[in-house]
């Protein structure tokens, strides 16, 4: 018996997700996303529970989630900040802004603030290069970043 239990609401969502796919394993990413959003982490017990839903091993679940940067095996903060470090953002000063953000949050890149509010990571191209430098916080994209804009964005988050 896995130490992770889906809520009744999640069970209903999983039933709806599974109905969309001819093969259970095809629902892997939606289930990983469901758990990541709810728990902010995909624990080993959650891998077991997801594997049970999809008739596959936890090792297979782990092999899939480890490919994607949006899934985490360490619990992330309420707000996951992903700074693009690819070429257009590089040319527009992302390194300086990333360091500015790290200094402002008093953490290093890859860390979470002690209050578990923010986690800061680098990310590859966010596919909005015309608005470089870019960052994504959870599901929202922010472009044309400056130090002042970063201050305003972070202060706007509860
Ligand atoms: S290089 Fe940063 S969004 Fe594409």
Q: Which residues does 29 contact at the CB level (< 8 Å), separation at least 6?
A: 64, 68
Domain that holds residue 139: 79-156
- How many other C-beta atoms can be found within 10 angstroms of the C-beta atom of residue 86? 18
Query: Could you read off the pLDDT of 62-88 as tens digits, one per residue?
Result: 999 999 988 999 999 999 999 999 999
How far does the centroid of ligand 1 lie from the alpha carbon of residue 127, in Å? 5
Question: In this structure, what DSSP letter does residue 6 have?
Answer: -
Joined together, the tokens standing for residue 144 give 């044309």
pLDDT score of 69:
85
Q: Which residues does 150 contact at the CB level (< 8 Å), separation at least 6?
A: 97, 100, 101, 104, 135
Residue 88 and residue 130 share a domain: yes
- Burial of 35 (C-beta count, 10 Å sphere; 0-12/13-18/19+): buried
Residue 130 and residue 86 share a domain: yes
Alpha carbon separation from 17 to 11, 25, 53, 131 (Å, rounded)? 10, 11, 11, 34
pLDDT score of 30:
97
- Burial of 91 (C-beta count, 10 Å sphere; 0-12/13-18/19+): exposed
pLDDT score of 158:
81
How far does the centroid of ligand 1 lie from the alpha carbon of residue 151, in Å? 21
The chain-wide mean pLDDT, for the chain, equals: 96
Residue 94 and residue 55 share a domain: no
Helix (H, G, I), strand (E, B) or coil at 49: helix
pLDDT score of 3:
87
What are the DSSP E strand ranges found in 5-109?
79-84
Statement: residue 1 has pLDDT above 60: no
Residues with CB under 6 A from ligand 1: 84, 86-89, 125-129, 132, 134
Q: What is the mean pLDDT of residues 31-37?
A: 96
Query: Could you read off the pLDDT of 86-130 as tens digits, one per residue?
Result: 999 999 999 999 999 999 999 999 999 999 999 999 999 999 999
**Ligand 1 atom nearest residue 131's Cα:** 3
CATH number at residue 16: 1.10.10
**Cα distance between residue 78 and residue 38, in whole Å:** 10
Residue 139 and residue 100 share a domain: yes
Total domains, the chain: 2
Answer whether residue 122 is part of any domain. Answer: yes
How far does the centroid of ligand 1 lie from the alpha carbon of residue 136, in Å? 11
**Cα distance between residue 71 and residue 60, in whole Å:** 14
């Amino acid at each position: 018996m896995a130490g992770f239990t889906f809520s009744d609401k999640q069970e209903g969502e999983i039933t709806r997700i599974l109905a969309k796919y001819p093969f259970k394993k095809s629902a892997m990413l939606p289930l990983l996303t469901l758990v990541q959003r709810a728990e902010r982490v995909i624990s080993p017990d959650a891998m077991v529970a997801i594997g049970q839903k999809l008739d596959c091993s936890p090792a297979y679940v782990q092999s899939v989630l480890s490919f994607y940067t949006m899934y985490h095996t360490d619990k992330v903060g309420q707000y996951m900040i992903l700074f693009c470090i690819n070429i257009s953002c590089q040319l527009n000063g992302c390194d300086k802004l990333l360091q500015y953000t790290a200094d402002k949050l008093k953490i290093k890149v890859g860390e979470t603030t002690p209050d578990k509010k923010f986690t800061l990571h680098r990310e590859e191209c966010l596919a909005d290069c015309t608005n470089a430098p870019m960052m994504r916080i959870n599901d929202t994209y922010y472009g044309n970043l400056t130090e002042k804009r970063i201050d305003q964005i972070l202060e706007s988050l509860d």
